[in-house]
A = this chain, B = another copy of it.
Amino acid sequence: MKIVVIGGGACGLKAACRARRRDPEAEITVIDAGRYPSLGRCGLPYYVGGIVNELNDLRRTLAGVVRDVQYFKKIKNIDILTETKVTEIDREKKVVKITKKDGSEDEIPYDYLVLATGAKPIRLNLPNADAEGVVTLFDPEDAEKILDMWDEGILEKAVIIGGGLIGMETAEALSNLDVEVTIVELLDHVLPALLDKEMAMLVQSYLADKGVKILTGSRVTEIIAKDGSVVGVKVDGTKEIEANLVLMAVGVRPNVDLAKACGLEIGETGAIKVNSYLQTSDENIYAGGDCVENIHLITGKPVFIPLGSTANKHGRVIGDNVTGGKSTFPGVIGTTIFKVFDLNVARTGLTEKQAKELGYDVITALCPGPDRAHFMPGQKPIRIKLIADAKTGKLLGAQMVGWGVVDKRIDIVATAIQMGATIDDLANFDLAYAPPYSTAIDTLIHAANVVRNKRDGLYKTISSFEVKDKLDRGEDIVLLDIRSDEEFRKFKKIEDPRLLRIPLEELRENIDKIPRDKEIVIVCQIGSRAYDAQRILEGYGFKDVKVMEGGMAFWFW
């Protein structure tokens, strides 16, 4: 049995190792174009940012051994050919044609072939895009290049094209090196594929606090070079920004050249199409990792969401199936997380925008809260957005941004979505409670209850964006700020003559000061006390009362 794997990344090596564990006899060969197989690419921003000291740290086992060619040979009895290019797959003869490091050519026969060719970063076709200093951050060589520039003292200003995940992580890494960073994003907020606008704005305003400049709704139209090196970019054809480094972080494309050339079916996303066994249109060829599309478990549609965690799962399934197993991979729901400075940003499922585009009638909640008991040291705030199907109550997605713990809560929702849970299920999950880990009613459970209260017509909200519009349009509303004097002094406030201040504690005795003939929008710090105030006012017969959802935590102006 001859198993040949093209690609020495997460999926390819996992497939090879899994195959070996199941079959001690098979001949297993991995062909990798690069020099460093088994390198955790996800760690590259941390290498640039100085948190990871050497590239080999991204290749070690838990016990500290570098997973190099010798490691795979000695322990796994797997042959890895590095710096070796596959030039052709001959499906008839079942051979792979290669060109080795020394230029010599060869053919390797296979019984099963595994395509784990990964993805490659998109390079925009801009004027001067080939200038020195225009990079992506994808291969270890890219990271080395950035660090070399920094070592040489010629890296002071950077422009990152694309406000996505890699753009964010690299913005932090470069800031850690005291590089002045400007992010240029085409759409009207950062992270457009991952977050709805109000959640993205939380990230955006935090980045601004950290000194990162962000231009949204802006396009880099030209790279400005001098003597072959980058000196800046031109934005929207006019505005110039100085830069020694331009990072293109506008996403990746699946590496499907080999698959296409040998006639394998490519899916509508542009990635290799596979069935649930991760088998391509050729039954002897499997494919996984960043070069294939996955089924989105909510929509049932193919999506291209390349992730290291998914690639590893693919590898295991493929390793089973090329050794006589019958394993399947169900699909993904687009769970993503990253850290930018001290902020944790995570999402899963569909955004509100995506869900609406797909025709869902959605109900959502914005719920800021603490990540553990307020009396515990280290307690930090988080902001949760939940999206559910208004018809069925099924969870469709969640987004979380916070200085506190969000990975836990996003994983709970991801698990819940994957198991088909409703918002009512979520509200009753028996989650672990003790003061160092959560509040007695966890902020996530609280968020589920907020959705239920909105669904049941108890809690009536208006978004901060709508409030801003109303104020800008000059509508004659009452903005009722019910925070305490101390909070009002200490925190952000809306400066507007339509603002009426009555602390919640004094609301009942001051009820006559509130006009009954106007629309009333209640504002507090995070929205929960405003809910009390809304119910109090309604108890006194007020008819048009709403809470500004999420409170001042979502006031961006």
Contacts and interface: CB of A to CB of B under 8 A. Distances in A.
Interface of A: 10, 20-22, 24-25, 40, 42-43, 46, 51-52, 57-58, 60-63, 65, 71, 74-77, 297, 307-313, 316, 329-330, 332-339, 344, 346, 348, 369-370, 373-377, 405, 407-408, 410-412, 414-416, 418-421, 425, 427-438, 440-442, 445, 449, 458, 483-484, 487, 504-508, 525-526, 528-529, 531-532, 535-536, 538-540
Top 4 A-B pairs, shortest CB-CB distance? A24-B539, A419-B419, A309-B433, A337-B432
Contacts of A440: 10, 40, 42, 308-309, 311-312
B376 A346 contact: no
A62 B374 contact: yes
Contacts of A62: 369-370, 374, 526, 528
A484 to B, nearest CB: 7
A223 to B, nearest CB: 29
Given A51-B376, A418-B425, 15 more contacts: A10-B440, A21-B532, A24-B536, A42-B433, A51-B377, A52-B376, A60-B375, A309-B433, A312-B440, A330-B428, A334-B430, A335-B430, A335-B433, A411-B429, A411-B431
Nearest to A417: B430
A375 B24 contact: no
A71 B43 CA distance: 50
B449 A316 contact: yes
A499 B286 CA distance: 43
Contacts of A407: 408, 432, 437-438
Contact of A429 (B307, B373, B415, B525): B415
B420 A508 contact: no
Nearest to A296: B430
A420 B437 CA distance: 25
Contacts of A316: 449
A440 B308 CA distance: 6
Nearest to A426: B415
Contacts of A536: 24
Contacts of A60: 374-375
Contacts of A77: 508
Given A21-B531, A40-B373, A411-B411, A430 B505 contact: no
Nearest to A534: B21
A22 B539 CA distance: 10
Nearest to A541: B24
Contact of A415 (B415, B436, B505, B508): B415
A507 B419 CA distance: 43
A337 B437 contact: yes
A229 to B, nearest CB: 32
Nearest to A486: B64
Contacts of A433: 42, 307-309, 335, 337
13 contacts: A21-B458, A21-B532, A40-B375, A42-B440, A43-B373, A63-B484, A63-B525, A71-B505, A309-B438, A339-B434, A407-B438, A411-B429, A415-B419
Given A63-B529, A309-B440, A484-B63, A435 B373 contact: no
Most chain B Cβ neighbours within 10 Å, of A61, A329, A441: A441
Nearest to A58: B375
A376 B420 CA distance: 33
A311 B433 CA distance: 11
Contacts of A333: 430
A55 to B, nearest CB: 10
A425 B329 CA distance: 10
A307 B434 CA distance: 9
B75 A504 contact: yes
A414 B346 CA distance: 20
Most chain B Cβ neighbours within 10 Å, of A61, A415, A525, A535: A415
B414 A52 contact: no
A413 to B, nearest CB: 9
Nearest to A51: B377
